[in-house]
Every structure is written in structure tokens, then in C-alpha cells.
């Protein structure tokens, strides 16, 4: 008969004493569980309700804590990590105002469909549901920016609830959230952490018959175009091979910038307001579009009769935001080889020549637009050309939201850089936290943040985070002393202008006070040297460029 006797931490098993491991508290269990799932970093900001959890982080070495200057930046850094790596990222915040600050960054991750887990402290369990200081119904607060949110109500439910949150975030590429009362972090856990479940990252894929159906559609095209988004990252050679065999132009979304380099003969740039004239003309004359990992679709820039075949890893993204003729579910990397094999090779000489002609005409215009003219004010296109000529081919660009992103899409001609941006949420203030996150997750890689003065004002304190990281991050600030896009829209609508002018600090002095080398440029003759020196320094650097604001062509209310 099996004999087990409990003697405290020791158990009698068949007459032998077996010493059981020391039980973990809830904080330690959370950290071990996150580590099991591959989490390496937590972004956050300290507060009373999470101090015990922070102490537990300090006592282990598997997961590091990155302290930001506010919780919004922590959530944006987590979102950027998830976009860059595809892995679940984690952010941490205090109860009440701390968790409220997370909302903007979590909304960015939620709308761009990337896996993020938010962990927030809550008031002590005895005060939940009362008017105690800093209590708020966190589940109600987070409902609109998460697919799963729950409150830990007992140590018994911790491991199950935490794993459900993690698996929801990973399997659905979404945001999950758990609240933990302040007094629970030091309680003893009653269940050990569970192993990770790697099958959750196995992407769905359409059957061979469905993929062959797409090939049949594509072979009907006479004037084909491929549109690439973030889902096509890493597929440069395959996309180029398909383009050459199919005779298709290649257009990119902003997030797809650099997947196919500008030097490729059939790459015509981006589309939409932040797009090129070549892409606009090619799309206006195309009869078939293949969307590869691209969910953005500026409807008024593309004619309605265009036939669309879409490939996306997320079934819910097929036919969004516009209906498509045919959809294929799967990772772009998994689907492309079959498409390449099945496409009938066609010269399409007239179409190819048309693509090249449109690209050449656009290049001639851009050469004039970006040329530095001595004695004339610096314009945003000049800044984009200066960045283009100095940036490393494998750099990562953290692109903030505003008029500068329009000029980037129009004028910057990428080689092999990747772009991080706030795609659907389009929050200002994304660029600097995203750059810091990229430097943490890919140390040593050149990172360039392109931001407007309005954007930098929102995250100015994060310059100290940049300085602490001491990585090759260059921040290029386009300073026009206004919210350019908003002021431009009010101007074209002939509206009285209010709230769109900025009173800016001296960004160069602020950066230097934080320990960052900085340049202040008001003369176009100094622009290229400053940008080049900053990027070549391989240290944190900032270039503040005073620009003469231009209204982007096609800007409307």
C-alpha cells in the first residue's frame, strides 16, 4: 500500500523522505509562467499596487523590467515589440490612473492585431467595488481594447486565468488583460506554472484546392499588381520572383515599406495619401490586385471595379475593409511558393513598359521635390532624402503619425529597411517608444525615429529612456511649430484655425540635458552632414530640423 505522510515541506514516500520545493507566491508564479511562454521583457511604471510584483522581478534573472516615464509609453513599447517580433509582449501598470494610461498603447496593439498582455495592479481585495481611492472597474475600462480581461479573485484561479489570457493573446493576435489585487501578489500559489503550448502559433492555412482557385483567378489578369503589407516582411525574394513571373507591379502599404526595395524595377512605392504618383497611376489602370499581408485599403484611391485576391494569416482580415473576389488564409511565406509555381509566366510587355514609364516619370518629379536648394527653406521632402541617403540598408524606422508620415511614404525610397508605425489607431507619440522598444529587442541594429514636433512633445520624457539604453537610435524631428495635418485640413476647408499651433521647447537642449548628442538645423546646406553624422555615431542622437510646412497633395477634410 502506497504510504504518503505530510511532514510539512517533507513527504514520506515508501519510507523515504522526499523534500518538496519551496512553494512560490503569486508574483513568482506569474513570472515563471511568463518565462515559460518566452517573455523576456516587461515594460511598465511603478505604483503602490504592484510594488510586491516589482520586487519579485528584481529577485530573478529571466525577465527584465524596462521602466518608462509613463504607462502609455510602456504599452506602446509592448505593441512595438509584438509588431517587430510577432511574439507576445507584456506591459505592467499600477491601479487607477496607471491602468488608465495604458489604454492608448493597448488600442494601438488591438487594432493592429498583435499579441500583448497587460497586467495591472488593483486595490486590495477588500476594497473592490467600493469608493476606495484609485478603484475603478478595470474590466469595464479595458473592454473596448481587449479580447479578454479578467480579475483574479482567488489564488486558486491565478494559473488558469493567466494562461487563458496568454493563449487568447497569442492565438487571436490580440490584447489580453488581467487585474490582480494588491494584497494577492504575496499570497502563496496553489498551482504551479504550466508549460507553454507551442501549437498555438501554428497558423491556419487554406486547402490546396482553395489556393489553386486563387491561382486560377490570378492567371486571368492582364494588368496585375501586388500590394504588400507587414504580413509580407521577410519575403523579398519570393515577392520579386512572383512579380517577375506574373509581370506585376509591386505597391506597398506604409507598414510594407522596404519589403521590396525601390531598386526593383517593378516596385512603384506606396499608395493612398502617403503614396506615389506612379502607384496611383498603375492602380488606376490595373485589372487585378493580389494583396499579401496587407489590410490597409484607401478606398477612394482605388477604382471599385478592381478584382482583388487576398492572402492573409487572419481569416477575419479577408475581405476587410473592402470585399474581395477571392481569399486565401495562410502566412504569406507559406502561400507564396505555391502561387509562384502555379502562375503562368507571361511577358506582358506593354504592361511592364507602362510600369517602368510611370516609375521613371515619378522619379523625375521626386528628384526635383527632394533636391536641396541653397538659400531656400528646408522642406519635409528634403529631410526624407537626407535620411534615405544616410540610413543603413538594414535599419529599422519607427514612423510617428502626422504630415511627416505622408512625406515619408511619398518621398522616402527604401532599400531593405523595415517600418514600425501605428497602423489603424494612428496615435501620435508612437515613434519614440517604438524606437526604444526596437533597440531593446534587436540590440545593435540601427533605429531611426521619424517624428513631428507635436509627436515628440507627447513623449518628450522618453528621451531619458533612449539615453539609458545607449543604443544606435537616431531621432529626426521635423519642427514646423504646428500640427501640420490638422492645420492643413482646416486651411483647405477654409475654417478658422484654432489649437493647431505649437509652442515648442528647444528640442536640442532637452536632448543634450538627457545625455543625447543633438544637432539643430535651420540651413539646408547643413542638413545632410548633420543627419549623416547622427546616424554614423552609433549612439543615441537627435537632429532637430526646422522645416517649411507644405500641404500634401490631395489633403482634404
Q: SS3 for 105-126, per residue?
A: HHHHHHHCCCCEEEEEEECCHH
The string of DSSP letters for 173-214 reads TSEEEEEEEGGGTTSBPSSPPPPP-GGGGPPP---HHHHHHH
Residue 116: closest CA among 189, 166, 65: 166
Q: Are both 414 and 296 inside the same structural domain?
A: no
CATH of residue 305: 3.40.50.1220
Q: Is 553 a domain residue?
A: no
C-alpha cell at 368: 526635383
Q: Are both 186 and 252 inside the same structural domain?
A: no
C-alpha cell at 105: 498603447
Q: Are both 222 and 348 inside the same structural domain?
A: yes
Identify the sign of the CA torsion 331, 332, 333, 339.
positive
Residue 66 DSSP code: E
**pLDDT on residue 6:** 40
Q: Is 463 a domain residue?
A: yes
Q: Are both 239 and 380 inside the same structural domain?
A: no
Q: Are both 178 and 240 inside the same structural domain?
A: no
**pLDDT on residue 552:** 84
CB under 8 Å to 326, separation ≥6 — which residues?
Answer: 213, 214, 217, 308, 309, 310
Q: Are both 113 and 194 inside the same structural domain?
A: yes
Residue 231 DSSP code: G
Q: Catalogue the E-assigned strands of 365-439.
A: 396-399, 418-421
Q: Is 45 a domain residue?
A: yes
Q: Are both 154 and 251 inside the same structural domain?
A: no
**pLDDT on residue 1:** 33
Give the residues of the chain that fall short of pLDDT 70: 1-22, 557
- Cα–Cα distance list, 334 to 253, 326, 458 (Å): 21, 17, 40
- End-of-domain residue from the set 325, 355, 385: 355
- End-of-domain residue from the set 159, 176, 201: 201
Q: Catalogue the E-assigned strands of 2-138.
A: 4-7, 10-13, 16-19, 41-44, 64-67, 89-93, 116-122
Q: Are both 235 and 139 inside the same structural domain?
A: no
Q: Are both 85 and 227 inside the same structural domain?
A: no
Q: How far is Cα 346 from Cα 48, in angstroms, rounded to an integer?
A: 66
Phi-psi region of 356 (alpha: psi -120 to 50; beta: other; left: phi over 0): alpha
The gap between the terminal CA atoms of the chain, to the nearest Å, is 81
Which 3 state secondary structure label does DSSP give 223? coil
Which secondary-structure segment (H or E) carries 477?
Answer: strand 473-479
Residue 542 DSSP code: E
- End-of-domain residue from the set 355, 390, 409: 355
Residue 481 DSSP code: S
Q: Are both 422 and 330 inside the same structural domain?
A: no
Sheet holding 148-151, edge to edge: 64-67, 41-44, 89-93, 116-122, 175-181, 148-151
Provide the 10 A C-beta neighbour count for residue 286: 23
**pLDDT on residue 406:** 95
Strands 64-67 and 116-122: unpaired
CB under 8 Å to 90, separation ≥6 — which residues?
Answer: 34, 39, 41, 42, 43, 78, 116, 117, 118, 119
**pLDDT on residue 21:** 53
Which secondary-structure segment (H or E) carries 148?
Answer: strand 148-151
Looking at the structure of the chain, the number of domains it has is 3
Q: How far is Cα 223 from Cα 148, in angstroms, rounded to an integer?
A: 44
Q: Is 5 a domain residue?
A: no
Q: Is 290 a domain residue?
A: yes
Q: Is 554 a domain residue?
A: no
Strand partners, 449: 398, 475
Q: Is 346 a domain residue?
A: yes
Q: Is 363 a domain residue?
A: no
Which 3 state secondary structure label does DSSP give 553? coil
Q: Are both 191 and 229 inside the same structural domain?
A: no
CATH of residue 454: 3.40.50.970
Q: Are both 254 and 378 inside the same structural domain?
A: no
Which 3 state secondary structure label does DSSP give 269? strand
Contact 72, 429 (CB under 8 A): yes
Count how many residues are written for the chain: 557
C-alpha cell at 422: 501605428
Domain of 436 in residue numbering reads as 371-546
Amino acid at each position: 500500500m502506497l504510504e504518503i505522510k505530510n511532514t510539512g515541506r517533507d513527504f514520506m514516500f515508501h519510507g523515504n523522505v522526499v523534500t518538496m520545493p519551496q512553494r512560490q507566491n503569486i508574483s513568482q508564479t506569474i513570472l515563471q509562467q511568463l518565462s515559460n511562454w518566452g517573455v523576456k521583457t516587461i515594460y511598465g511604471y511603478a505604483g503602490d499596487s504592484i510594488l510586491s510584483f516589482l520586487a519579485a522581478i528584481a529577485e530573478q534573472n529571466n525577465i527584465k523590467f524596462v521602466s518608462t516615464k509613463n504607462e502609455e509609453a510602456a504599452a506602446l513599447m509592448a505593441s512595438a515589440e509584438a509588431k517587430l517580433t510577432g511574439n507576445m509582449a507584456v506591459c505592467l501598470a499600477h491601479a487607477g490612473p496607471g491602468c488608465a494610461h495604458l489604454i492608448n498603447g493597448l488600442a494601438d496593439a488591438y487594432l493592429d492585431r498583435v499579441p500583448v498582455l497587460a497586467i495591472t495592479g488593483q486595490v486590495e481585495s477588500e476594497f473592490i467595488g467600493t469608493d476606495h481611492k484609485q478603484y475603478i472597474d478595470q474590466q469595464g475600462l479595458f473592454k473596448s481594447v481587449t479580447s479578454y480581461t479578467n480579475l483574479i479573485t482567488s489564488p486558486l484561479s491565478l494559473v488558469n486565468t493567466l494562461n487563458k489570457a496568454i493563449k487568447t493573446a497569442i492565438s487571436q493576435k490580440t490584447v489580453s488583460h488581467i487585474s490582480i489585487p494588491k494584497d494577492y501578489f504575496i499570497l502563496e500559489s496553489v498551482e504551479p506554472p504550466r508549460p507553454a503550448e507551442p501549437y498555438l502559433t501554428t497558423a491556419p492555412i487554406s486547402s490546396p484546392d482553395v489556393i489553386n482557385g486563387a491561382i486560377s483567378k490570378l492567371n486571368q489578369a492582364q494588368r496585375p499588381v501586388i500590394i504588400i503589407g507587414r504580413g509580407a516582411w521577410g519575403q523579398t525574394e519570393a515577392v520579386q520572383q512572383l512579380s517577375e513571373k506574373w509581370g506585376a507591379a509591386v505597391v506597398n502599404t506604409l507598414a510594407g515599406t522596404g519589403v521590396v526595395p525601390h531598386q526593383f524595377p517593378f516596385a512603384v512605392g506606396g499608395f493612398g495619401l502617403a503614396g506615389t504618383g506612379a502607384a496611383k497611376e498603375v492602380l488606376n489602370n490595373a485589372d487585378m490586385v493580389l494583396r499579401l499581408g496587407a489590410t490597409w485599403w484607401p478606398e477612394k484611391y482605388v477604382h471599385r471595379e478592381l478584382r482583388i485576391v487576398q492572402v492573409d494569416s487572419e481569416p477575419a482580415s479577408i475581405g476587410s475593409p473592402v470585399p474581395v473576389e477571392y481569399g486565401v488564409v495562410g502566412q504569406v511565406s507559406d502561400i507564396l511558393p505555391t502561387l509562384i509555381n502555379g502562375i503562368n509566366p507571361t511577358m506582358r510587355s506593354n504592361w511592364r513598359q507602362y510600369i517602368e514609364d510611370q516609375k521613371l516619370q515619378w522619379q523625375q518629379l521626386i528628384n526635383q521635390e527632394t533636391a536641396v536648394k541653397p538659400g531656400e527653406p528646408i522642406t519635409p521632402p528634403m529631410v526624407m532624402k537626407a535620411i534615405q541617403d544616410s540610413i543603413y540598408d538594414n535599419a529599422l524606422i519607427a514612423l510617428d503619425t502626422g504630415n511627416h508620415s505622408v512625406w515619408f511614404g511619398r518621398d522616402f525610397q527604401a532599400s531593405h529597411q523595415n517600418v514600425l508605425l501605428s497602423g489603424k489607431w494612428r496615435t501620435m507619440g508612437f515613434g519614440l517608444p517604438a524606437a526604444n522598444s526596437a533597440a531593446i529587442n534587436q540590440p545593435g541594429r540601427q533605429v531611426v525615429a521619424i517624428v513631428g514636433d507635436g509627436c515628440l512633445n507627447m513623449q518628450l520624457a522618453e528621451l531619458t529612456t533612449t539615453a539609458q539604453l545607449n543604443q544606435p537610435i537616431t531621432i529626426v524631428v521635423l519642427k514646423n511649430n504646428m500640427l501640420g495635418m490638422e492645420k492643413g485640413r482646416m486651411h483647405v476647408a477654409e475654417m478658422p484655425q484654432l489649437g493647431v499651433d505649437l509652442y515648442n521647447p528647444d528640442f536640442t537642449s532637452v536632448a543634450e540635458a538627457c545625455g543625447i548628442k543633438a544637432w539643430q538645423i535651420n540651413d539646408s546646406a547643413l542638413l545632410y552632414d548633420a543627419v549623416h553624422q547622427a546616424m554614423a555615431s552609433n549612439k543615441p542622437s537627435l537632429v532637430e530640423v526646422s522645416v517649411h510646412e507644405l500641404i500634401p497633395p490631395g489633403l482634404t477634410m
